[in-house]
Structure 1
Amino acid sequence: MKNFITQASRAIVGKKGRWITLGIWVALIVALQLLLPASGDYTDDTTEPLPDDQPSIIAADIMQEYFPSSDGLPGLITWYREDGIQEEDLAAIQELSASLTEDELNAQEAVVPYQDIPYPALQEMISEDGTTFIQTILFQSNVSSDETKEGLTQLTERVNDQLNENPFESSLDSDELVARVTGPAGISVDATELFENADVSLLIGTVVLVLVFLLLIYRSPILPFIPLLAVGAAYAVATPILGWMAKSGIISYDSQGIAIMTVLLFGAGTDYCLFLIARFRLFLYEEQNRLKAIRLALTDTAGVIGISGLTVVSALMALLISQYGTIHNFAVPFGLSIFVMMISSITLVPALLSMIGRMAFYPFVPRTEEMEHKRAKKKNKKVKIHKQSRFWHRIGDFAAQKPIRTIVITLVLLVGSSLFVTQVQYSYDTLSSFPEDTPSREGFALISDAFGSGDLAPVQVVFDTGGEDVDLTEELGELGGVYNVEEPEVSEVDDHLVMYQLELTENPYSNEAMDDLEAIQANVADLKDQYNLNEVWIGGQTAEQVDQRSIIETDEFKIIALVVVIISILLLIYLRSITAMIYLVGTVLVSYTSALGLGWVILHYGFDVPSISALIPIYAFVFIAALGEDYNIFMISNIWEKKRKLPLKPAIREGVGQSGGVITSAGVILAGTFAVLTTLPIQVLVQFGLITAIGVLLDTFIVRPLLVPAITSLLGKWAFWPSKQMEKKSADTEN
């Protein structure tokens, strides 16, 4: 393998090879951009995340087939006037309803004919406090959110023309008529818009942050653009491939996945570039020939970058086992982007560095002592000899000489913060992740205050009575958690099927409503048996969330277990040490739990966040574990390399000293890119960005420079067990 890497390095950075490498990348980018579709053209934010065999999805199919009047995506226009809905407001609602009946909106399925309802009956539909009226429009459920958005845009324009004002922009605390669209249609459109706006701002923010960090680290106007070019090239190659795969129906992804992929690509991609650049800079102080220096640097780091990249790719591809569509769909975009970035960092980056050479670091150009002497003599100045910073050597020495003290101090912090994990509350409420001024969230708040939140997303219970004349309205109304039961509806397709609409007491998106529904499901099953009915199906938003909770909890266990197994196997293959594999995986696990605990403390006690998204543990673990092992591999490789020539403790000091600076730089950049997510208006990304950034910083400043070296020092020769060959070489050296 070493010979292969050496030969490949010569080919990539040779006088002709570097230009061939650059030409291949340029040709590949141009071809893919011209021949394949853009990934953004095929994002799908309407994909149902639950499998078809889930009870709530089966219930939805039953209702779609046997109760077509209830088929569609409800959009609830919430009309509100602080001083009370007036007669002219109801007249305007009737006029709008008539207009929608005669001239349908884009993607419109059906409307309630309010124009045919007598005025006294309309007044009865106003909330008890007289402030709020709900007008329902059903949109087609099988269309994209963009088409639904077009329909809502047409609705806004029609209302503006009719009223000569825009109630959709009126403030809630004004005395004017206010309108907001909520319900599944409004929530879907708002979610898509938030992620669409986030995509551009995220890309700009990430590029600027990486550029600033690289300028501060290397103080060179040239070098920062090399990693950015490499990441840009990887992005330009990966995204059209994703677009082609999505267009062909091979994969599916949403706007959220592409947004996170952008952060991952810039963060992890820059890390790989920095590993190579740091080693190149080191060899430039020893070698006059820049081509030899880059060849040696590439030979030294290609294996580490390769195994690090494969570790991340393998961990990300483990998401494919998820039954939950949102998680499952992340696997290929994330894995493919990192794989392409890994190839870019060991081909395009060294080719570019071999072309630019020492001037990449201008004005702080690394030179050998001989070159500095010649330069000083020519300019008649004093010789400037490069002195490596000894800060990280001192950190490594402390961890090596005082391992027990170091382990105790670091574990007190990590384990202490991990204890807060037991207090974390999880949410399955999509709406609560929106900013408070999002139209669908404002509309939901108006409905909750005026009618009760259960009116927004009722639960549907469908019984197959087998032809029996049974009315279960009273029995269903007596169940705990049920606020109201509407009159039963008999299917026009099959009169054996009867549907009841249940309005829950609690917010239908809340954990309390989900707990209530689980009890309702058990009681409804008892009613089916009590009245000897054939079958029962329960559907609706809350029912879907109950299924989501069950699947996500199962996925979390399976994915975390699989990622641990994958990382363990790759570490074992690369390091050939069972002991090292165990404690390196262990440090990543404690880093993850610590990050989750600290993140909860900051979000809950610092920003009064009552709960975090239930998807966060899976997202955060995969990224913290996979990316954390990058630093593990780079650090331990340096220590083991030094161990071939030095006793263990000096090897730890030198290994930490040599890798500490680059790991710190890489970790700060990676944490910064994830922290960019906290500037977005979407709470799930804020929570994910914060917790992952904390995990990366813990890896960078505590686990990698202190805990891992200290454990290695404490274990001594057993840290390498059963790698007999390396231990033998080390023993020979020490003797």
Structure 2
Amino acid sequence: MGKLLEKYGRGVTGPRGKWVTLLLWVVIAGALSAVWPAVNSQVNNNAANLPESFPSVQADEVAKREFPNADGVPALLVWHREGGLADSDLQIVQKLAEAYTAKPLPAQTALPPYHQMPLPALKAQLSENKKTLVTPIVFSGEADSAQLKENFATIRDQVKALTGHDPFGEELASGQLIARVSGPAGISVDASALFKKADVSLLIGTVLLVLVLLLAIYRSPILAIIPLIGVGFAYAVTGPILGFMAQRGWIEVDSQAISIMTVLLFGAGTDYCLFLIARYRQMLTVESDKRAALKRAISGASGAIAMSGFTVVLSLAALLLADYGVLKRFAVPFSLAILIMAIASLTFVPAMLAVLGRASFFPLIPRTPEMIRQRAEKKGVPVPQPRTRKTVGDRFAHLVIARPWAVIVVTVLVLGGAASFAPGVKYTYDLLSSFPKDMPSREGFQLIGESYSPGSLAPVKVMADTEGRGADVQGTLSRLPFVDAASAPQKGKANPNIVAVDVQLNVNPYDNEAMDHIPGLRTEVEAALRASGVSDAGDRVWIGGQTAAQYDTKHAGDRDELLVIPVVIGLIALLLLAYLRSVVAMLYLIGTVVLSFGSALGLGWIVLHYMMGADAVAGAIPLYAFVFLVALGEDYNIFMISSIWKKSREMPLKEAIRQGVSETGGVITSAGLILAGTFAVLATLPIQVLLQFGVITAIGVLLDTFIVRPFLVPALTTVLGRAAFWPGSVRDGRKEKSGAS
């Protein structure tokens, strides 16, 4: 392995190798960007989140087949006037219907004939307070967000021409006519715009934050730019590859995945660069030859960097096992991005350092004592005496070695206390609540909820095959205490025995309470079918709609947690065993990051709920955070433990721990601050799911950086002593020293 690393080091840092390496990256990035599409051009924010095996998806297929008029993506035009809608307002609705019936909008598939209704009939559809009217326009399911956005712009322009002002731009408190586009189509367009805006803000914020932190840490403008250039090239290669895969239909990507991938690249990518840069800086103080110093740095850091990257890649790839589409769409972009970034940090960054040499650290250039002496003599000044300042890492190491049990007890109590809040976290599966309250489509839903029955926001579609036996599906559903209204049954097109009833619940259909009623709806309809003599009633009931989809989403998330979490832990355990060859170390390293995750979830809930006023956390957040925190947390453990393991071959274990903690303390603290900072940038976005993920992950990284890595892990290693290496062994440095003396 040593010869292999030496050969690799010469290859990427040699007189020719460094230029060849840089040229290869430039050519590959340029060629891929020119030939393959950018990943942002292949984003699909309407991709299905549930597989075909789930009941709500099967119900949607039945609805498309039997009730094709309901097929498509509806846009709900919400009309509202605080003083009550006037006849002139309703006439605008009729004129629009007449115009779009005569000349439909692109991808328009259905529009009720409001222009053929007399005003009294149209008034009958007003809300009870006469302030609100909802008129749907259905578009093809093939229509993308860009096409829908153009259609909405056309509607807005025509309404402005008819009214003389812009109802879509009016504030909700306005006494004027107010219009909003809501429903699935409106949400899709608003979400796409929100993510696009967030992507730009996120990229700018992340780059500036990383740049400022690197300048503060190294006080070198050149060194601050090197990791950013490395990340830039990694993104330039990753983006086209993902775009090509998405274009071919091999994967699906959405805006949320690309946003988080950007943060991950800058955070984790900069960390890998820092691991190498810190080792190079250290070697430059003992090696006068910059090439020799870089080779030693590569030899010392590449194993830990490769192992850390491989751990994250495999952990993120485990998300391919998820049923929930959002999670599954994370797997390939994240794991590929980390893989390419790890390669860049082991090839592109060393080549850059080889080209720049000691100048990389300008103006604080590291030199050997001999070089410092020669420089002083040349200038005719006294040789500066080396300072022996105790670093923060030195103080951490001294405390851990001196009082390991006290450190273990205190850190476990702190982490355990924070983790005790995790069971109290409340979860929501309402996507709409993740968006800003002033988002137009959400304001439209607010108006509907205030003026109509809460269940009218998103009726539950209940379908049943009665086999022509006359089961009273509508009556059964309307008698339920949690149902506000049940529509008259519609007969299926292909199978007239299948009837559909739209059910309006008496609670918000997006709340968890509404989701809990889905099993009750199914049970009651199945009982009605059995009572009428229908056989196999359990296979003849289908429930669709947003509430049913959220119910299935919750179950998909629960299933994913039960599967993915053990797989991630198992993969990391195998990698740690292969790298450290110690069962004991593997167990306590995994145990510490799992404890840290629980603490991050508990502290995150305290911040989000008690300080930021969030009522609930997005249901997918625990699995998001677990995969990231456990994988990234092990990165820091691997980097520090690998240093301790190497030193333990040459010195007593306690001294190896002291030096390992001291030497890695600075770089891991710097890396942790940068990684936590990049995730914290997500907390500045107006999208709640990203904000919540950013807060919890940033807290977890900080816990790993300032509690788990400098205190808990080395304290456990100190207490366990040589047993930490079991079933491997470690040479006793004290015996070797005494034998030599």
Q: Report the TM range for the smaller structure's normalisation.
A: over 0.9
Say if 2:462 and 2:502, in contact at 8 Å, map to a contact too: yes
Contact 2:75/2:182 (CA < 8 Å) preserved in 1? yes
CA distance in 1, matches of 2:269, 2:584: 29
CA contact (8 A) 1:372 1:385 kept: no
Q: Which residue of 2 aligns with 1:476?
A: 477
Out of 648, 651, 654, the residue aligned to residue 646 of structure 1 is 651
Residue in 1 that maps onto 2:462: 461
Query: Which residue of 1 is the match for residue 718 of structure 2?
Result: 713
| % identical aligned pairs | 49
Contact 2:80 2:132 in 1 (8 A): yes
Q: Partner residue of 1:214? A: 214
Residue 13 of structure 1 contacts residue 350 of structure 1 at CA under 8 Å; is this kept in 2? yes
1:14-60 deviation line (CA, Å, top 9, x unaligned):
11111111111111111111111111111111111100111111111
After superposition, give the CA deviation of every residue in 1:290-311 in whole Å (9 maximum; x if it has no partner).
1111111011111110000000
Query: 1:145 Cα deviation (Å)?
Result: 2.0
Q: Which residue of the partner structure matches residue 623 of structure 2?
A: 618
Q: Distance in 2 between matches of 1:730 and 1:160?
A: 86
| TM-aligned CA deviation for residue 558 of structure 1 | 0.7
Of residues 293-302 and 28-37 in structure 1, the stretch that sits farther from structure 2 once superposed is 28-37
Kept in 1, the 8 Å contact 2:522–2:541? The answer is no
- Which whole-Å CA distance do the structure 1 matches of 2:386 and 2:142 have between them? 66
Q: CA-atom RMSD, angstroms?
A: 1.3
The equivalent of 2:347 in structure 1 is: 347
Match of 1:79 in 2: 79
Q: Work out whether residues 453 and 484 of structure 2, in 8 Å CA contact, stay in contact via their aligned partners in 1.
A: no
Give the CA deviation at 1:722: 1.0
Q: In 2, Cα distance between the equivalents of 1:623 and 1:472?
A: 47
- How far apart, in 2, do the equivalents of 1:157 and 1:270 lie? 47
Q: In the alignment, which residue of structure 1 is the partner of 2:267? A: 267
Helix, strand or coil at the partner of 1:499: strand
Equivalent residue number for residue 518 of structure 1:
519
Query: Is it true that 1:111 corresponds to 2:116 in the alignment?
Result: no
The residue that corresponds to 2:683 in the other structure is 678
Deviations 1:516-544 (A, max 9, x none): 12222222222222222362211111111
Uncovered stretches (5+) of structure 2, i.e. residues with no partner: none
In 1, Cα distance between equivalents of 2:239 and 2:184: 30
Structure 2 CA distance, aligned partners of 1:472 and 1:230?
A: 63
Distance in 2, matches of 1:386 and 1:585, equals 40
Structure-2 separation of matches of 1:378 and 1:508 = 80
Q: Which residue of 1 aligns with 2:330?
A: 330
Using the alignment, how far apart are the partners of 2:643 and 2:384 within structure 1?
A: 27
SS of residue paired to 1:175: coil
Kept in 2: contact 1:644–1:733 (CA 8 A): no
Contact 2:652 2:733 survives alignment (8 Å): no
Secondary structure, counterpart of 2:418 in structure 1: helix
Q: Distance in 1 between matches of 2:249 and 2:734?
A: 54
1:157 to partner: Cα distance: 1.6
The CA deviation at 1:453 is 2.2
Q: Secondary structure at the match of 1:121?
A: helix
Residue 659 of structure 1 aligns to which amino acid in structure 2? T
2:469·2:532 contact (CA, 8 Å) conserved in 1? no
> C-alpha deviations, 1:239-263, integer Å up to 9, x for none?
1010111111111110110110000
The AA in structure 2 aligned to 1:307 is M
Read off the aligned partner of 2:171 and give its amino acid letter.
Answer: S
Distance 2:108 2:719 in 1: 69
Aligned 1:190-205 pairs, distance under 5 A: 190-205=190-205
Deviations 1:392-431 (A, max 9, x none): 1121111122111001111111000101111011110000
Q: Secondary structure of the equivalent of 1:181?
A: strand
Give the corresponding residue for 1:421: 422
2:608 to 603, 608, 611: 603
C-alpha deviation, 1:385, in angstroms: 4.6
Counterpart secondary structure, 1:364:
coil
Q: Whole-Å Cα distance in 1 between the matches of residues 412 and 453 of structure 2?
A: 48
Alignment partner, residue 278 of structure 1 = 278
Q: Cα deviations across residues 539-595 of structure 1 (Å, max 9, x unaligned)?
A: 111111111111110001111110000000000000000000000000000000000
The answer on whether the counterparts of 1:73 and 1:185 sit within 8 Å (CA) in structure 2 is: yes
Does 2:573 correspond to 1:568?
A: yes
Aligned equivalent of 2:60: 60
Deviation readout 1:106-164 (Å, 9 max, x if unpaired):
22111111111221122221111121111111111232222222222221122112222
One-letter amino acid of the structure 1 residue matched with residue 601 of structure 2: L
The answer to whether 1:546 aligns with 2:551 is yes
Confirm or deny: 8 A CA contact 2:476 2:525 kept in the other structure: no
Q: Aligned letter for 2:31? A: A
- Matched residues in 2 for 1:305 and 1:451: separation? 58
User: Is this contact kept in 2: 1:481–1:517, CA < 8 A?
Assistant: no
Partners of 2:143 and 2:61 lie apart in 1 by: 16
Is the Cα–Cα contact under 8 Å of residues 653 and 733 in structure 2 kept in the other structure?
no
Shift of 1:469: 3.4
Q: Deviations over 1:337-367 (max 9, x none)?
A: 1000000001111111011111111111111
Verify: 1:153 aligned to 2:142, yes or no.
no
Partner SS state of residue 168, structure 1 = helix
* CA distance 1:729–1:389, change in 2 (3 Å): closer
Shift of 1:651: 1.5
CA distance in 2, matches of 1:635, 1:669: 17
- Residue 729 of structure 1: CA displacement? 6.2
Give the corresponding residue for 1:441. Answer: 442
Match of residue 689 from structure 1: 694
C-alpha spacing 1:385/1:362, structure 2 compared with 1 (3 Å) = farther
Per-residue deviation, residues 654-698 of structure 1 (Å, max 9, x unmatched): 111000000000000000000000111100000000100000000
- Whether the 8 Å CA contact 1:717–1:727 is kept in 2: the answer is no
- Residues of 2 paired with 1:720 and 1:516: CA distance? 54
Residue deviations 1:425-469 (CA, integer Å, cap 9, x gap):
111000000001001111111111110221011011112122233
User: Mean Cα displacement is larger for which, 522-531 or 370-379?
Assistant: 522-531
1:153-172 correspondence to structure 2 within 5 Å: 153-172=153-172
Provide the residue aligned with 1:394 in structure 2.
395
* Contact 2:74/2:138 (8 A) holds in 1: yes
- Letter paired with 2:194: L
Shift of the 727–532 alpha-carbon distance from structure 1 to 2, 3 Å rule, reads: farther
Is 2:461–2:501's contact at 8 Å kept on the other side of the alignment? yes
Task: Give the deviation of 1:470 after TM superposition.
Answer: 3.8
Deviates more, 1:696-705 or 1:72-81: 72-81
Check the 8 A contact 2:321/2:564 in 1, yes or no.
yes
Q: CA deviation at 1:645?
A: 2.0
Partners of 2:117 and 2:322 lie apart in 1 by 48
State the secondary structure of the residue aligned to 1:460: strand
Contact kept, 8 Å, 1:644 with 1:730, in 2: the verdict is no
Deviates most, 582-591 or 391-400: 391-400
Q: CA deviation at 1:62?
A: 0.8
Q: Does 1:406 align with 2:407?
A: yes
Contact 2:411–2:707 (Cα < 8 Å) also in 1: yes
Code of the aligned partner of 2:478: G
Q: Secondary structure at the match of 2:518?
A: helix
Residue type of the alignment partner of 2:212: V
| Alignment-mate amino acid for residue 559 of structure 1 | V
2:676 and 2:705 mapped to 1: Cα distance? 9
Answer whether contact 2:652 2:732 (CA < 8 A) is retained. no
Partner of 2:531: 530
**Letter of the structure 1 residue corresponding to residue 476 of structure 2:** E
In the TM superposition, residue 389 of structure 1 has moved relative to its aligned partner by: 4.4
Q: Which moved more, 1:308-317 or 1:155-164?
A: 155-164
**Comparing 520-529 and 319-328, the one that deviates more:** 520-529
Match for 1:693: what amino acid? Answer: A
Report the count of equivalent residues: 734
Aligned 8 A contact 1:76 1:186 in 2 = yes
Query: In structure 1, how many angstroms separate the alpha carbons of the residues matched to 2:297 and 2:734?
Result: 24
Amino acid of the structure 1 residue aligned with 2:683? T
Cα distance in 2 between the residues matched to 1:306 and 1:474 = 64
